Amino acid sequence: AQSVTQLDSQVPVFEEAPVELRCNYSSSVSVYLFWYVQYPNQGLQLLLKYLSGSTLVKGINGFEAEFNKSQTSFHLRKPSVHISDTAEYFCAVSDRGSARQLTFGSGTQLTVLP
Amino acid sequence: EADIYQTPRYLVIGTGKKITLECSQTMGHDKMYWYQQDPGMELHLIHYSYGVNSTEKGDLSSESTVSRIRTEHFPLTLESARPSHTSQYLCASSVLTGSTEAFFGQGTRLTVV
């Protein structure tokens, strides 16, 4: 079985400051990793994904994430946030080589303050 | 444009009514999913399907049922709605194998009064 832990349920940060949203996972097999963003009353939109290759993954809206296999982490970062980045962010994992569905973390509410 | 659609976006309905939440995708994906999400909470998988005539229950037990008669269509039905069913329901789809990246609809926010 696989699981995802998002260590911070809420992260307030001032505009133009850097931010890191933390995600740790557990799985007995190799995994694919994803970050999704959810704006109020909307579905989920894919920010970025790690499938293989370079451990630093760049996504949309200036976000990036780094896969750390030894620490089983996939933290999301942005060097300078905007008010429009205020949203809920979900980390997700799925097993490689199978048709298993995504397992999501509990989400982190990022609030960017003026 | 390939996409995934959910209707209605918002539904307020009385206790005991039968409801069907619609989900359709135009991406030709084999896998489809239903997630339940309470406000500010994580997503819980309640149903998924590998293709036509395939339906499976997810990690979270649900009184809802689903059907998959056509590849592009994956409706969710509640035979008798109760206030405990009040939640947001998100539909998603993905290819059958590989990265399993899921594409989500905008959700249906259901309120049972």
> pLDDT at position A98, please?
57
What whole-number distance in Å separates Cα of residue B109 and Cα of residue B107? 6
| Cβ-defined contact of B6 to A43 (cutoff 8 Å) | yes
Name which of A44, A52, A111 to mutate to probe chain B: the one with the most chain B Cβ atoms within 10 A of its Cβ.
Answer: A44
**Chain A residues interacting with chain B (CB cutoff of 8 angstroms):** 32, 34, 36, 41-46, 49, 51, 88, 90, 94, 97-102, 104-107, 109
Which has more confidence, B71 or A99?
B71
Report how far apart, in Å, the C-alpha atoms of A35 and of each of A44, B37, B82, B92, B113 are.
10, 17, 33, 15, 34
Distances (CA, A) of B47 to A9, A88, B75, B108: 26, 23, 11, 15
In angstroms, rounded to a whole number, what is the distance separating the alpha carbons of residues B21 and B75? 6
What average pLDDT does chain B have?
91
CA B45 to each of CA A60, A66, B42: distance values in angstroms, whole numbers, following the listed order: 26, 26, 10
Q: Which of B54-58, B73-77, B100-104 has the lowest mean pLDDT?
A: B100-104
Chain-wide mean pLDDT for chain A?
91
pLDDT band at residue A97, thresholds of 50, 70 and 90?
low
Lowest model confidence (mean pLDDT) among A55-59, B74-78, B96-100: B96-100
> Residue A33's pLDDT is what?
92
Helix residue ranges, H only, chain A: none
* Of B66, B70, B91, the residue nearest B78 (C-alpha): B66
Is the confidence at residue B100, as pLDDT, over 70? no
CA–CA dist A32, A34 (Å, integer): 7
Q: What is the pLDDT of residue A109?
A: 95
Pick A46's closest partner by Cβ from B90, B97, B101.
Answer: B101
Q: Which two tokens stand for residue B69?
A: 């008669």
Given this model, what pLDDT does residue A2 score?
A: 79
Please compute the mean of the pLDDT values over residues A29-57 and round it to a whole number: 89
pLDDT score of B90: 94
Q: What is the pLDDT of residue B98?
A: 64
- Other C-beta atoms lying within 10 Å of the C-beta of residue B96: 11
Of A89-103, B74-88, B92-106, least confident by mean pLDDT is A89-103
Reported as a pLDDT band with limits 50, 70 and 90, residue B2 is low
Confidence of residue B64 (pLDDT cuts 50, 70, 90): very high
